[in-house]
């Protein structure tokens, strides 16, 4: 068995076991073998982490910006240097192909570098006022942050929050996924080894409901930052609202792809398929409903099937693999259920549709046509390698279908018309829109949703907004 690191909590600058030494198993999704354990924090552990974050914030906010910058750049360099090992661990516990995993680690180092430099320009302003009065606006760190992140991007997800918070001058207690704990620990180790003061960053694992309830309710916590499903996001947002704490919510979606009559169907299919099956479809911005003009439908579907059948499914540690397993049994069961429901309602499986006869949480990349609009896959985020293709005749109808769900995270459009592209940009209800490609998030621009897909933004200058408070100061000179 490939070696798997020991996972511990990181609290107050020290790595430690949980107070009761209670653990949960960590499973390799490519083999279904238990490869390690993750410690589960006790209430006392969480209280220690909160107190550490309180003290850490007082230290970090008083640290000169130049010193903070130096430490964080050192952490970014360590992430880059350790990317191959971080990627290996990520593949062991999360399943994604090793090349993708290493790339994720390297990209997240660049995300940190962006936020470091952007935070140095989180300027306030002086406002013209009355004689003898200086009226100014200041931006200050909000305070200790409680953050919660899922398993699908086990280094990129945590670091989007860590990098913004620490660059802004905040401290953090982060609960990472118990399914990919060693990756999160490897990321936190880069910050610790870079010289981050004790308590500025604390890592815990545990029963999600218990951890979130204690961290959110604590008077130490000043901001709640969450990435995950819409139902869980609503629960955490409600808990934060009960104690009047702001929240940053990056929730799920069900991204439509509209392929207009003037698009190149083969090129659109090739680009869309590559995005659809990235990380086995386990991406909140993954294209997941393909609305194709009827004149292009057959060509698009044929090209999509061809691209799908070129995918090599296997263990992420195998260099030949281009798509790994699903991360857990829950996603596998969802893929089987959504496929069966679509077929029962009349859909045609063009390729895939089955679980391969092998160990691991694998599901063949699947393309469905003749999908009725009342199929569950048309309204439920699949978070799996499933691609339903539906024809349309009128762009008004396609936009109505695309906007019909309560989600609004990402959307995609393919057209050669600048006027049509502008219409898509104006009328698609999404916080992230890509035209003629299905690109992912970038650190220099904001990402976030509308409607039930959440609020607040990560990436770009807007990423710091949630982690800073705006203070007005009116200073009347004596």
* Beta bridge partner(s), residue 225: 147, 248
| % the chain with pLDDT above 90 | 98
Nearest alpha carbon to residue 315 among 107, 103, 93, 105: 93
Per DSSP, the residues of 367-421 read: EEES--TTSGGGTS---SSEEEEEEES-HHHHHHHHT-SSEESEEEEE-S-HHHH
Instruction: Note the pLDDT of residue 450.
Output: 97
Residue 418 and residue 263 in contact, taking contact as beta carbons nearer than 8 Å: no
DSSP 447: B
* Residue of 170, 190, 260, 284 marked active site: 284
DSSP 463: G
Nearest alpha carbon to residue 381 among 345, 344, 330: 330
Residue 339 and residue 305 in contact, taking contact as beta carbons nearer than 8 Å: no
Question: Which domains are delineated in the chain?
Answer: 9-251+453-474 (3.40.605.10), 255-442 (3.40.309.10)
Q: Is 450 helix (H, G, I), strand (E, B) or coil?
A: strand
* Residue of 100, 250, 429, 452 marked active site: 250
pTM, two decimals, is 0.95
Report d(CA 285, CA 444) in Å as an integer: 17
Report d(CA 221, CA 215) in Å as an integer: 7
Report d(CA 159, CA 15) in Å as an integer: 19
Looking at 223-374, list the stretches that DSSP marks H as alpha helix, in order from N- to C-terminal side.
230-242, 265-276, 297-309, 329-344
When the pLDDT of each residue in the chain is averaged and rounded to a whole number, the result is 97
Q: What is the pLDDT of residues 419-445, one digit of tens each?
A: 999 999 999 999 999 999 998 889 999
Q: Is 250 a catalytic residue?
A: yes
Instruction: Note the pLDDT of residue 65.
Output: 96
The answer to whether residue 400 scores a pLDDT higher than 60 is yes
The answer to whether residue 21 scores a pLDDT higher than 90 is no
Residue 154 and residue 184 in contact, taking contact as beta carbons nearer than 8 Å: yes
Q: What is the pLDDT of residues 315-369, one digit of tens each?
A: 999 999 999 999 999 999 999 999 999 999 999 999 999 999 999 999 999 999 9
Q: What is the pLDDT of residues 143-183, one digit of tens each?
A: 999 999 999 999 999 999 999 999 999 999 999 999 999 99
Q: Is 462 a catalytic residue?
A: no
Instruction: Note the pLDDT of residue 478.
Output: 81
Please give the order of strands across the beta sheet that includes 468-476: 125-127, 133-141, 468-476
Looking at 134-203, list the stretches that DSSP marks H as alpha helix, in order from N- to C-terminal side.
156-168, 181-193
Number of residues that make up the chain:
478
The CA-based angle 90-287-99, given to 5 degrees, is 25
């Amino acid at each position: 068995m490939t070696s798997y690191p020991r996972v511990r909590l990181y609290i107050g600058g020290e790595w430690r076991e949980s107070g009761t030494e209670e653990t949960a198993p960590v499973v390799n999704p490519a083999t279904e073998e238990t490869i390690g354990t993750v410690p589960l924090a006790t209430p006392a552990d969480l209280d220690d982490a909160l107190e550490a974050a309180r003290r850490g914030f007082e230290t970090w906010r008083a640290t000169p910006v130049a010193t903070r910058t130096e430490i964080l750049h050192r952490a970014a360099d360590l992430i880059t240097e350790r990317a191959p090992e971080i990627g290996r661990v990520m593949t062991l516990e999360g399943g994604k192909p090793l090349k993708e995993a290493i790339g994720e680690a390297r990209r997240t180092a660049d995300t940190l570098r962006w936020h470091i430099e952007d935070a140095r320009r989180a300027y306030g302003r002086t406002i013209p006022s009355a004689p003898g009065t200086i009226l100014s606006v200041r931006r200050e760190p909000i305070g200790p942050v409680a953050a919660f992140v899922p398993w699908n991007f086990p280094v990129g997800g945590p670091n989007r929050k860590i990098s913004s918070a620490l660059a802004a001058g905040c401290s953090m207690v982060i609960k990472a996924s118990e399914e990919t704990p060693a990756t999160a620990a490897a990321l936190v180790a880069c910050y610790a080894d870079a010289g981050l003061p004790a308590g500025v960053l604390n890592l815990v694992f545990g029963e999600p409901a218990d951890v979130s309830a204690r961290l959110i309710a604590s008077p130490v916590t000043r901001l709640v930052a969450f990435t995950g499903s819409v139902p869980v996001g609503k629960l955490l947002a409600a808990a934060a609202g009960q104690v009047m704490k702001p929240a940053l919510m990056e929730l799920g979606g069900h991204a439509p792809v509209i392929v207009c009559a003037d698009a190149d169907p083969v090129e659109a299919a090739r680009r869309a398929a590559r995005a659809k099956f990235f990380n086995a479809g386990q991406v909140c911005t993954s294209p997941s409903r393909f609305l194709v003009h009827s004149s292009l439908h057959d060509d698009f579907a044929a090209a999509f099937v061809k691209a799908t059948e070129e995918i090599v499914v296997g263990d992420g540690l195998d260099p030949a693999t281009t798509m790994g397993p699903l991360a857990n049994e829950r996603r596998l069961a969802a893929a089987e259920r959504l496929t069966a429901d679509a077929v029962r309602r009349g859909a045609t499986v063009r390729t895939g549709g089955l679980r391969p006869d092998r160990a691991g949480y694998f599901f063949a990349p699947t393309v469905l046509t003749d999908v009725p609009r009342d199929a569950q896959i048309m309204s439920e985020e699949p978070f799996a390698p499933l691609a339903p293709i539906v024809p349309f005749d009128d762009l008004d109808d396609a936009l109505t279908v695309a906007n019909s769900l309560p989600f609004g995270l990402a959307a995609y459009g393919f057209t050669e018309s600048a006027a049509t592209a502008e219409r898509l940009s104006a009328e698609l209800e999404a916080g992230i829109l890509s035209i003629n490609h299905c690109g992912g998030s970038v650190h220099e621009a904001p990402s976030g949703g509308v409607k039930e897909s959440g609020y607040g933004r990560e990436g770009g200058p807007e990423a710091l907004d949630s982690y800073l408070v705006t203070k007005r100061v009116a200073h009347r000179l004596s």
